[in-house]
Amino acid sequence: MQWIGDALTDVESAVNKEVRRRRPTSPVDRETQLEMLTPPVIQNGDPDEAEAFARELLAHAEAKRAGR
């Protein structure tokens, strides 16, 4: 059963890399991207990554407020 867990971890890692690689083409795409990135950022416990992600969220909120 360990191989199933390893395979799922590989899939999760590949999805995370793909989500980070793609550039959103609309505000909805950006929201979806942020929603997908939230759990891994929180779970890994890296304070630098959490801070960078918080900045991304703030930039998204500011763009939304400005109607972009």
The predicted model gives 2-19 an average pLDDT of: 92
Confidence band (pLDDT; 50, 70, 90) for 14? very high
To the nearest 5 percent, what fractions of the chain are helix, strand and coil?
85, 0, 15
Check residue 34 and give its pLDDT.
93
Q: Are 8 and 26 in contact (CB under 8 A)?
A: no
Q: Are 63 and 27 in contact (CB under 8 A)?
A: yes
Q: Are 43 and 12 in contact (CB under 8 A)?
A: no
